[in-house]
Amino acid sequence: MKFFIDTADVEEIKALAPTGLVDGVTTNPSLIMKSGRDFREVVAEICAIVDGPVSAEVTATEAPEMIKEGVSLADIADNVTVKLPLTLEGLVACKALTEEGIDTNVTLCFSANQALLAAKAGATFISPFIGRLDDINVDGMELIRDIRMIYDNYDFRTEILAASIRSANHVKESAIAGADVATVPPAVLKSLVRHPLTDKGLDAFLADWAKTGQKIL
C-alpha cells in the first residue's frame, strides 16, 4: 500500500519525507485555506519536496472550466494530479484531461456505482471517503471491498485511494480490503509506528545497555 499525506502544511511534509513513507500528497481548497498562503505557490513547493503524485483540486463546477483549471494546475509541475468532484461534469472533465495525458483523482466518492463511473471515465485515482460514511453509520470498509471487487472483475487500472481516514485502524482495514493507497493526516501516519510494547521494550534495552557502561561510538 502507498501512503499519501493529506495536508497542505509544507513543514509537516518536509519532516515526514525523509522517512521514505510519503508516496504522494493530497490537498483540497480547505487545506490550502488553512495554510494561509497562495494556492499555486503551495502546490509548487509540495511538488518539489515529493516525487509522487500531488493532488490539487479544481474549484469550477462546470466541465469546460474544470478542464481549463485542470490544464493550468498540471502546468505547475509534472507530478500534479488534478482532483475533480464526482459529478457528471467532473466525469466529463476527467475523461478530457485523461485523454490529454493528465493524471486525475476523482474525489467525494460514496458508492460503488460512482467508483465504476470514475473508472470508465479513466480516473487515475478514485477517492472513497471512509470516515464520512462511518459518520452516518455506513460501513466505509464495505465500500472499499466492493470497489476492489468491481475493479478486479473488469481489470480497471484506476487505483483505490482510501480517504477521510481518521485512525490507525482505518489504515489497517483499508489495506486488508485491498486499497491501493491510503491518504492520511500526518498525525495518523505518525501513530502507525507507535505501540506501548515497543516503547516498553526499548526502555528496557536502553536501561540494560546503560548498566554496561559501554558506547558503540
Give the residue numbers marked as catalytic.
83
Q: Cα dihedral angle (28, 179, 188, 169), rounded to 10 degrees?
A: 140
The answer to whether residues 86 and 109 touch, using CB atoms and an 8 Å cutoff, is yes
What distance lies between CA 56 and its chain's CA centroid? 11
Helix, coil or strand: residue 214? coil
The answer to whether residues 39 and 68 touch, using CB atoms and an 8 Å cutoff, is no
Greatest Cα-to-Cα distance within the chain, rounded to the nearest angstrom: 71
Amino acid at residue number 65? E
Residues 6+ positions from 49 with CB-CB distance below 8 Å: 10, 13, 14, 17
Question: How far, in Å, CA of 54 to CA of 56, rounded?
Answer: 6
The answer to whether residues 37 and 87 touch, using CB atoms and an 8 Å cutoff, is no
Question: How far, in Å, CA of 81 to CA of 77, rounded?
Answer: 9
